[in-house]
Amino acid sequence: MRWGIRGLSLRNSERLLGIGLLFPTVALIAAVVLYPMISTMWLAFFKESLLRPNDPAEFVGIDNFVRLVSDGGFWKVVINSVVLTAGAVAGEVIIGMIIALAVNASYRGRGLFRTLNILPWVIPSFVTAFVWVWLLHPQFGPVNALLQLLHIIEDPIAWLSEGVTAMISLIAVYTWKGLPWTFLVLLAGLQTIPEDWYEAAKVDGASAWQMFWHITVPALRYVLVIVLVLRTIWTFNSFDMVYLLTGGGPARATLTLPMQVFNAGFREYNVGMSSAIAAVMVVLVVLLSLIMLRVGWVEEESQR
Amino acid sequence: MRRVTKVLTAKHRPRALLGLFLSFLAVFPIYFMVVGSISPVETFLRRDLGEILLPRAFVGDHMAVVAFDPVFLRFALNSLIVATATTFVSIAVATLGAYSLARLRFPGGEVIGRFALLTYTVPSVLLLIPLFKIVVTLNLANNLIALVITYTTFSVPFCLWLLRSYFQSLPRDLEEAAMVDGASRLGALFRVILPLSVPGIVATALFAFILAWNEFLFALVFTTTSDVKTLPIGVSTTFTAEQTATDWAVAMSASTLSAVPIFIIVLILQRGLVRGITAGAVKG
């Protein structure tokens, strides 16, 4: 009896300690992420100016959303976000997969190769933007110089000042920056596939293409879903490189949802509208997060 | 098509070459940046590709202009303060949390840990206006503390999971032995677990540092005066006169210098960085 009580109280004190130690983490996330998130969703139903924080916010119901949906410009922004995200994620996954398949073997200098490759992912985004604005510069940029040298183009292209090329450039830069992560995760996934699966398939006369579709892809299913979902969310949410490279321009050709949330809030001081756009973003992100968690949990359960 | 896939899946020696070639493609813009920052300004004007790749001469003028610019140094100092403070606070908070998740099981702990990770799926722009209001209300606008608190929140979940898996890899016997000898739980954590975890903590700390060093959006909104701007905001608002070739040389120098701490961290961590960055996405 004594033992039981002592054991129980020990367990209780351990639990209390456990909760206490995790408290700072929970408090930070609640104050800096959770509360602002709920607050934004709430503000989406109000009319308020960021310049006059002391004026009471006026409740306007779903007015902000109605105005958004009926604004043709907003749909253009949604499409821009989707095009940028789809383009960059597709580029990363396809190129990342090709590289991962190509280098999935040990060779000299592999460590150096991976270390160098991580650079685009870890350097500050403003550095990425600076470098690419220079590379793509119509007058000084090496990209035009190279294309002219190869006679692919006659005259220099002002990549970032024309609608279509600006979007293509953004997709290229996002792909370049996201590629290291995508590639490394896919490679780590590839390395968990036993070599003898391929050996057995070869004995049965499978072609390389068949092996890819019937061994590699199914084995990487979980990793692929994680990569697709996370990269989609992160690219979709990304603000800094759009802001730095094109600022959403020319005109509204590369204006994305995060840029628009920022513009509405900090250039037009329209709190309600900014929050409404952010709320629309959240709906999509929450959906994707749920898919991610579900796949993750299902996979874990099947491993037990 | 068949030939291509054969090359891709069969074991081949040219793979090493292909790997190196692709890694060159990945790194060449960064290489251009570093080389551009020490190239004569004519290199930017002539647009001779060979010269851009391998300049005939190296000059330190533009580097010196940036490195001795008090404005740039102020930005760098601010970045250093914010990133260092974020690193220390993140490690303190995450160490406690990670130990709790690794050893002190209680109902809900696992779920809290998972939900913490969801932080990374939240669009940062979503938090801007409420956080800006809080910052203004607390009189923390143009105060580096606002940045440290925000960055800490975003680095903690990642640190939490890295440290948790590190703690889990340590044998329980060590703490139990210490506790039999009369140490409390916390005593065992501080005197037994932490000293053993130094390599893991250093690696985790460097991740937090990178995150804080690179952050752009919150710094853009929370800091408006140049005495508190960090490098991302300071450099991108001050060194962007894209009119002349000299401007470009200076801009490349500022970019290169801003990335130096990142280059150093990459050199220190190497494979550890790769493992950490892909952690969580692939189990095992």
Q: Is B238 on the interface with A (CB under 8 A)?
A: no
With CB atoms and an 8 Å threshold, state whether B273 touches A145: no
Q: For residue B140, give Cα distances in angstroms to A116, A267, B145, B206, B224.
A: 39, 21, 7, 26, 12
Q: Which amino acid is at B201?
A: I
Predicted local distance difference test score (pLDDT) of residue A173:
96
- B40 CA: distance to closest CA in chain A (Å): 14
pLDDT at A101 over 70: yes
Q: Is A275 on the interface with B (CB under 8 A)?
A: yes
Quick one: what percent of chain A has pLDDT higher than 70? Answer: 90
Confidence class of residue B284 from pLDDT cuts 50, 70 and 90?
very low
What's the whole-number mean pLDDT along residues B195-212?
A: 92
Q: Which amino acid is at A251?
A: A
Least reliable range by pLDDT among B15-19, B113-117, B159-163, B269-273: B15-19
pLDDT tens, residue by residue, B103-134: 887 888 888 888 888 888 889 999 999 999 99
**In terms of pLDDT, which residue wins out, A158 or B73?**
B73
What's the whole-number mean pLDDT along residues B183-204?
A: 88
Window 8-67 of B: residues touching A by CB (8 A cutoff) are 8-13, 15-16, 18-20, 22-23, 26-27, 29-30, 32-33, 36, 44-45, 47-49, 52
With CB atoms and an 8 Å threshold, state whether A131 touches B255: yes
Quick one: what percent of chain B has pLDDT higher than 70? Answer: 90
Dihedrals phi, psi of A46, to nearest 5 degrees: -125, 165
> Which of B20, B121, B190 is the best substitution to test chain A (most A C-beta atoms within 10 A)?
B121
Q: Is B117 on the interface with A (CB under 8 A)?
A: no
pLDDT at B236 over 50: yes
Q: For residue A272, what is the nearest residue in chain B, using CA coordinates?
A: B129
pLDDT at A10 over 70: no
Q: Is A180 on the interface with B (CB under 8 A)?
A: yes
With CB atoms and an 8 Å threshold, state whether B274 touches A185: no
Q: CA B133, CA B231: separation in Å to the nearest integer?
A: 24
pLDDT tens, residue by residue, A266-284: 999 999 999 999 999 998 8
Dihedrals phi, psi of A106, to nearest 5 degrees: -90, 140
- Interface pTM (ipTM) of the complex? 0.88
Helices (H), ranges, B104-214: 109-118, 124-137, 144-168, 172-180, 185-188, 194-196, 198-214
Contacts of B32 in chain A (CB under 8 A): 131, 134-135, 142
Measured between CB atoms, which of B23, B97, B281 is closest to A223? B281
Predicted local distance difference test score (pLDDT) of residue B283:
39
Q: CA B250, CA B59: separation in Å to the nearest integer?
A: 12
Contacts of B188 in chain A (CB under 8 A): none
Omega prior to A250 cis, within 30 of 0: yes
What's the whole-number mean pLDDT along residues A220-231?
A: 87
Q: Which amino acid is at A70?
A: S
With CB atoms and an 8 Å threshold, state whether A124 touches B262: yes
With CB atoms and an 8 Å threshold, state whether B122 touches A33: yes
Least reliable range by pLDDT among A98-107, B163-172, B196-205: A98-107
- Closest-CA residue to A62 (of A304, A280, A264): A280
Predicted local distance difference test score (pLDDT) of residue A3:
43
Confidence class of residue A107 from pLDDT cuts 50, 70 and 90?
low
What's the whole-number mean pLDDT along residues B133-137?
A: 92
Cα three-residue angle B260-B263-B269, rounded to 5 degrees: 140
Long-range contacts at A151-160 (CB < 8 A, ≥ 24 apart): A160/A133, A160/A136, A160/A245, A160/A246
Q: Is B157 on the interface with A (CB under 8 A)?
A: yes
Q: Is B97 on the interface with A (CB under 8 A)?
A: yes
Q: Is A165 on the interface with B (CB under 8 A)?
A: no
Measured between CB atoms, which of A98, A107, A141 is closest to B16? A107
Average pLDDT of chain B to the nearest whole number: 85
